[in-house]
């Protein structure tokens, strides 16, 4: 297998749900935000905005909305980044654009010795009482924007888990679906 620092970061990144109390250096946060800024987007629209959340009270309020399994990590993480997208900038591909920016930031965090996990908060039906709507209210996100994800970031409080992946044989076809 070819050795490459980007491929190594992709293969090495794991979702870490618990964090140490250590602060994250400002330079690392800025580098992570730069990685999000440089994500590809449909027609280079760059419809995203990033909300850097360090306020403990806000994180506490957010933790009451997200699924139970990710609650503690959100409160513990020294920094969380909410990824929003402006649907007026790109009404057709905003979900993908926000997802790619989130992934870029997760990979950047890993490459800088930090850990993160992805909290998917986007509600496809855009319901008024959804988790997305409730978080948007707390973070004062305008109606023209959708919230794609929240990315808690910090230093891991435990060993990264080892995970297996399906083989390429099970995932890849040639020219047409189902053709090996």
pLDDT of residue 37: 97
What confidence score (pLDDT) does residue 158 get?
76
Banded pLDDT at 3 (limits 50, 70, 90):
confident
Locate all alpha helices (DSSP H) within the chain, ordered by sequence.
Answer: 5-12, 26-37, 56-63, 68-76, 94-111, 131-139, 168-171
Q: Which domains does the chain show, CATH number per domain?
A: 5-158 (3.40.109.10)
Task: Provide the pLDDT confidence category of residue 123 given band limits of 50, 70 and 90.
Answer: very high
Q: What does pLDDT average to over the chain?
A: 91
pLDDT tens, residue by residue, 40-92: 999 999 999 999 999 999 999 999 998 777 888 899 999 999 999 999 998 99
Residue 10 has pLDDT above 80, yes or no: no
CA dist., res. 2 & res. 122, Å (int): 35
- Ranges 13-17, 43-47, 174-178: which has the least confidence: 13-17
Task: Tell me the per-residue pLDDT of 26-39, one tens digit each, with 9 for 90 and over.
Answer: 999 999 999 999 99
Residue 160 has pLDDT above 80, yes or no: no
Spatial contact of 41 and 93, defined as CB atoms under 8 Å apart: yes
Nearest to 33 by CA among 86, 81, 95, 94: 81
């Amino acid at each position: 297998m070819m050795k490459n620092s980007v491929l190594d970061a992709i293969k090495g990144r794991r979702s870490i749900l618990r964090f140490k109390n250590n602060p994250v250096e400002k330079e690392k946060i800025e580098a992570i935000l730069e990685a999000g800024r440089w994500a590809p987007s449909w027609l280079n629209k760059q419809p995203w905005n990033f909300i850097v959340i360090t306020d403990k009270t806000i994180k506490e309020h957010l933790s009451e909305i997200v699924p139970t399994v990710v609650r503690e990590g959100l409160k513990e993480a020294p920094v969380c980044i909410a990824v929003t997208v402006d649907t007026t900038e790109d009404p057709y591909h905003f979900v993908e654009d926000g997802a790619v920016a989130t992934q870029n930031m997760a990979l950047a965090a890993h490459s800088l010795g930090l850990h993160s996990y992805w909290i998917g908060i986007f509600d496809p039906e855009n319901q008024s009482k959804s988790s997305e709507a409730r978080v948007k209210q707390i973070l004062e996100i305008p109606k023209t924007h959708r919230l794609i994800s929240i990315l808690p970031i910090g230093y891991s409080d435990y060993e990264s888990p080892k995970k297996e992946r399906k083989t390429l044989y099970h995932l890849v076809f040639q020219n047409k679906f189902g053709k090996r």
